[in-house]
Structure 1
Amino acid sequence: MPVSERLPGPLARLVARRWFPHVTCFVAALVLRVAWVLWVDRDGFVLNDAMMYNANAVAINEGLGFRPPQGGPSAQWPPAYSTILAGIYWVFGIEPLWGEIFNAIVGALTVVLLMLLIERVVDRRAAIVGGVMLAVLPGPILWTDVLVTETLYTAMFVLLFLVLAHASPTWPWLVAIGAVIGLGALVRGEALTWGLLPIVLFWRELPRLELARRIAGIAAVVIVILMPWTIRNAIVMDAFVPVATNASATLWSGHHAGATGGQTYPPEEYYLQFDQEPPLRELQSGSALRRDAIEYMVTHPVHELQLVPLKLIHLNRGDSYALDWVNDAPGAAPISPINAERIGVIADVGYYGLLTLFLLGAVVLGRPFWRTRMGRVFAASFLTALFLYGFLYYGNYRYRLPYEPLMVLVAAAFLTQLWRWRRTSERTDPA
C-alpha cells in the first residue's frame, strides 16, 4: 500500500507528488547545515588539512597556483576542492564561510541523490525514510563546517552509485562512469578504487573480453580527466604524480613500529634528512615514507595483523570526533565544552544507532538484497573500505563519512521491510 494512502487527505496528496519528499528533505537538510555553519564562529585556522585547502584557494586567487603556507609548488593534496574554493572566493570574496555554505549545499544535495538511488534500488517508501535519516544524521552536518573534502567526496560517491544503478554497458554510460571516477579522484585519490565497482556491476552481463574492453574505456576517460593535473605536476614538480603525494604519509601512518591503528606522524627530525626546498622535501619524504611503510609491512607480519582490529576501531569511532575539527581553532574553541559534550552525545547516538540498523539490515535482508545487481556493488564497496582503512592505510572516522549514506540505504531498506512484515502480520492475524 503506498505511503500516501495511510495519511490524511491533504498530506497524502503532497507526499504523492513526485518531488515533494525530495524537496522537503533537501530544505530540512540545508536548513540544519546552514544553521550549524552560521552558529560556529571559528577565528582562523590551525595547521591542518582545512588550513591547506584554504591556503591553496587563496594562492590560486593571487595567481600563485597550488601553494601551501610553507611555500613552493606542491601536489600534496588533489586539486579539485581547492579549485572550487578558489572559484567561490573569486565570486564572493576570500571568506571561509562561503566555502562552508558550499559544503552545506552539497550536503543537502547528497540527501536528494541518496533518495533517488534508494528509489531505484529499493522503493519510494525506503527513499523517504533514507532521506529523512541522512537529512538529520548529526555526523554529516558537523563536517559541513570544516573546509575538508569529506562532504564533496561523499556527494561524488553517492552520485557514482546513482549512475551505476541506471547504467547499462553502453559507451555513453561508460563515459559517465569514468567521468565521475576521474572527478572523484581529483577530490580524493581513493576514488581510483571506484574502478572496481563497474567491474562488479557488469561481471555477469558481459563476456570477459568485452568486459575488459568496456573497463578499459572507463579507464581511458579517467586518464583523460587526470591528465591536465598530472602534466602540471610533471612540469612544476618535475615528477610523475598522477593525483597527489599525501598517500605516502597515509600509508606510513598505518605501517611502522609506532603505529596505533589511528593517525600518527613521523617525528619532525625525520624530515631533516631531505632537501628542505620545495618541492624536493615533499617528493623525497613521500618516496621515503612509502618505502619505509612497505618494508615494515613485509618484515613485521604479526604486528600488521594486530593492527587490523585497531584500525577498524578507529574507523568506527563516533561522529562526535568531528568536533575535534570543528573546535580546532587558534583562539578560543567556537563550541563551548558543555555544548560540545551535548552535541557529541547526540552525534555518537546517531552514528551507533545507524551502525546497529545497518548491521541488522545486512543480516536480515540477506541474500535477496546482497545478490541483486546493485547489492553486489554495495558489498564490493564496503569490502574495499575494510581493505583500505582496515589494512592498507589506517582507521580514521573521517574516512567513514562517505559510506554513511550507503549505511542509511541498508538501514532504510531494513526498516521498511520490517514495516511490510508488520502490515502483513496484521492482515493475516485471525483476531
Structure 2
Amino acid sequence: MSAKVIHFPSRPSRLALRLEWFATDKSVLLGIWALYFALRAAVLLIDVAPTSDAEWYYARAASLAAGLGYLDNSGAPTAFWPAGWPIALGLTFSRFGTSLVTLGLFNLVSAMLIGVTTLALGRRLFGSEGAARAGLLMLAVYPNAIGYVPLALTEVFYTALLMAGCWVVVTRTNRWQLVSAGLLFGFATLVKAQTLVVVPLLFAIDWLRMGQVWQRLPRLLTEGLMVLGIAVLTVLPWTIRNEVQLGHWIAVSTNGGYTLLTGNHDTATGDYTPGAPVVKELMARPGLNEVTRDAEAGRLGIAWITQNPDRFLALAPKKLARLWLPDGEAEWAYQGGAPGYARFEIVYRAVRVLNQGYYAALMLTFAAAFFVMIARRRRDGQRWIGWWLLPYGIALYPTLICLGFSGQSRFHYPVMPWVCITAGWLVMTALGRLGERTALKPTLH
C-alpha cells in the first residue's frame, strides 16, 4: 500500500527570518545610522593639522573667507588646482569661523549625505531594502572612508556631490530636476575637472537599459545636453574670473598639464611623482608664469607619450596597480599632521592592515557581483544593461583617467560607496539563497 506525500509550504529558516528582520525592522536601520554617525563623529576627536594638498586647500579657503580672493602662497591670483572645494569651505568658514572644527563638521555633513545617497541608490539600483541596508553598513565600518572626515581634502565633499547628481538623474520624473543635476555636476566639476565624463555615462546606461532605444534617443540626448549645458554655465563664472585676473581663458584650473607630466616622463613609475627631475627642472625655469608653465608641462607630457608609446603602454599596469591595489591612504595625513601619531603608531598601522583586508574583500565581492548579476538577468530573460551597471561605470571613469595621467589610491575614494552598494546586494542575495536551501519542509504521509 502506497501513501501519498503532501508537501506544504516551507517554514522559513532561521537565517531567512533574520534576513527579513534585517531588511524590514526600523531599529536595524536606526542602528546602522547610529554606527555610521558615531564612527565619523568619533574620528573628529583626533587632532590632525592639514598637510600637503590639504594645507593648500585649507589656506585657500581661509583666504576666501577673509575676502582676499583665491591667491597662491605669494599672494597673487591663481587658478592652480580646482577651486570648488576651497570655495565651498571658504563660504562655510565665513559663516562659522575658520577652524578645524568647522572643517570637520562640514565634512561630517557631507559624509552623512553620502550615507543617505548610498541607501537611496541601493534601493533604486537593486530594488532591495536589504541590499541597500547591507551596503550602508559596509560603508559605515569602512576605515578609510571614516579616516577622511577630519581632513581638508576634496574626497568627502566631492563624493557627496557626485552621488547626489547621479541620484537626481536616476530618479528624475521631470526635466526641472535636470537643472539641479546640472548644478550639482557643475560644482563637482569645479572640485574635480574630469567630472563631466560621468554625465554621458549616466545617459548611455539610461538609453540602453530599456527597449525602443532609437525612439528614446532624441529625448535622452536632449536631457543629457541640458545637464551638460547647465554644468558648463555653473563653471563659466569661474572661467571668466580666470580670464579677468590671469589674462587667459582657463576653464577650471592650471594643474592639468602638470599632472599629465608627473605621470608620463622618463623616470615615471606609474604614480604621482612631483619630485621627478623633469618636473623640478620645469618648475625652476625662470620667466614662466603659472599658465605657461602648465601649458609647457602638458606639451612635454604629450610629446613624451608620442615619442614613447611602448613605454607609455608599459606604465598602464603600474598606474592601475597604484589606483586599485592599495587602500588606507588616509593614514598618511595622520602620520604627517597628527601630533599623537608616534604614540599610537601601532594602532594606526593595525587599522591600516585591517582596512586593506576589508578593502580587498569589498573589491572581490564587487567583481563577483558583475558576473552574478549578468547570469541572473539572462536567466530571467532581462536586458543585461540596467542601472545596476552604474557603479561599474563610476569605477571605470577614474580608471581611464589614471591611464592617461597617473595612479593614486586616493582617486578611487568616490567609487567606494558604489562598491559597498553592489557588495551589499551580492551578500544579501547569497544569504537569501542559503536561507532558502536551509528552510524546513514539513511533509504529511
TM-score (norm 1): 0.88
Of structures 1 and 2, the larger Rg is shown by 2
Identify which of 308, 326, 332 aligns with 2:316.
308
Q: How does 1:147-186 map to 2 (within 5 A)?
A: 147-167=152-172, 170-186=174-190
- Specify the alignment match of 1:385 in structure 2: 398
Q: Is the 8 A contact 1:22 1:131 kept in 2?
A: no
- Specify the alignment match of 2:388 in structure 1: 375
Q: Distance between the aligned counterparts of 1:192 and 1:335, measured in 2? A: 43
Q: Distance between the aligned counterparts of 1:367 and 1:84, measured in 2? A: 44
Give the letter for the 1:251 counterpart. Answer: L
Q: Distance between the aligned counterparts of 2:148 and 2:339, measured in 1? A: 20
> Displacement, 1:293?
0.9
> Displacement, 1:300?
0.8
- Specify the alignment match of 1:128 in structure 2: 133
Identify which of 424, 433, 439 aligns with 1:412.
424
1:270-308: CA deviation from partner (whole Å, max 9, x where unpaired) = 2232436xxx2x211110111111111111111111111
Q: How does 1:327-346 map to 2 (within 5 A)?
A: 327-329=335-337, 333=341, 336-346=344-354
> Displacement, 1:21?
5.0
Q: Is the 8 A contact 2:72 2:78 kept in 1?
A: yes
- Specify the alignment match of 2:254 in structure 1: 245
Segment of structure 1 superposing worse, 358-367 or 185-194: 358-367
- Percent identity, aligned pairs only? 23
Q: Distance between the aligned counterparts of 1:347 and 1:415, measured in 2? A: 19
- Specify the alignment match of 1:32 in structure 2: 39
Q: Distance between the aligned counterparts of 2:268 and 2:151, measured in 1? A: 26
1:335-370: CA deviation from partner (whole Å, max 9, x where unpaired) = 632122112112212211211211222222225469
Give the letter for the 1:6 counterpart. Answer: L
> Displacement, 1:312?
1.1
> Displacement, 1:74?
0.9
- Specify the alignment match of 2:47 in structure 1: 41
Specify the SS of the correspondent of 2:438: helix
User: Closer, same or farther in 2 for the Cα pair 1:379/1:319, shift >3 Å?
Assistant: closer
User: Closer, same or farther in 2 for the Cα pair 1:97/1:2, shift >3 Å?
Assistant: farther
- Specify the alignment match of 2:409 in structure 1: 397
Give the letter for the 1:125 counterpart. Answer: G
Question: What are structure 2's unaligned runs of at least 5 residues?
Answer: 1-11, 378-382
User: Closer, same or farther in 2 for the Cα pair 1:93/1:180, shift >3 Å?
Assistant: closer
Give the letter for the 2:259 counterpart. Answer: T
- Specify the alignment match of 1:257 in structure 2: 266
- Specify the alignment match of 1:80 in structure 2: 84
Segment of structure 1 superposing worse, 365-374 or 212-221: 365-374
Q: Distance between the aligned counterparts of 2:23 and 2:300, measured in 1? A: 60
Q: Distance between the aligned counterparts of 2:442 and 2:412, measured in 1? A: 46
- Specify the alignment match of 1:355 in structure 2: 363
Q: Is the 8 A contact 1:41 1:334 kept in 2?
A: no
> Displacement, 1:429?
7.0
Question: What are structure 1's unaligned runs of at least 5 residues?
Answer: none
TM-score (norm 2): 0.86
Q: Distance between the aligned counterparts of 2:389 and 2:13, measured in 1? A: 28
Q: Is the 8 A contact 1:27 1:108 kept in 2?
A: no
User: Closer, same or farther in 2 for the Cα pair 1:182/1:362, shift >3 Å?
Assistant: same
Q: Distance between the aligned counterparts of 2:109 and 2:14, measured in 1? A: 28
Segment of structure 1 superposing worse, 255-264 or 200-209: 200-209
- Specify the alignment match of 2:9 in structure 1: none
Q: Is the 8 A contact 1:29 1:107 kept in 2?
A: no
Q: Distance between the aligned counterparts of 2:169 and 2:285, measured in 1? A: 47
Q: Is the 8 A contact 1:22 1:112 kept in 2?
A: no
Q: Is the 8 A contact 1:255 1:296 kept in 2?
A: yes
Give the letter for the 1:108 counterpart. Answer: M
> Displacement, 1:132?
0.7
Q: Aligned residues, how many?
A: 418
User: CA RMSD for the aligned pairs?
Assistant: 2.8
> Displacement, 1:248?
1.9
Question: 1:191 and 2:181 equivalent?
Answer: no
- Specify the alignment match of 2:3 in structure 1: none
Bigger RCO of structures 1 and 2 (CA < 8 A, at least 6 apart) = 2
Q: Is the 8 A contact 1:78 1:188 kept in 2?
A: yes
Q: Distance between the aligned counterparts of 2:23 and 2:299, measured in 1? A: 60
Identify which of 77, 89, 94 aligns with 2:93.
89
Question: 1:322 and 2:330 equivalent?
Answer: yes
> Displacement, 1:313?
0.9
Specify the SS of the correspondent of 1:319: coil
> Displacement, 1:105?
2.5
1:101-131: CA deviation from partner (whole Å, max 9, x where unpaired) = 2212211321121011111122100011111
Give the letter for the 1:289 counterpart. Answer: A
> Displacement, 1:173?
3.5
User: Closer, same or farther in 2 for the Cα pair 1:142/1:106, shift >3 Å?
Assistant: same
Q: Is the 8 A contact 1:164 1:201 kept in 2?
A: no
Segment of structure 1 superposing worse, 158-167 or 148-157: 158-167
Q: Distance between the aligned counterparts of 1:423 and 1:330, measured in 2? A: 46
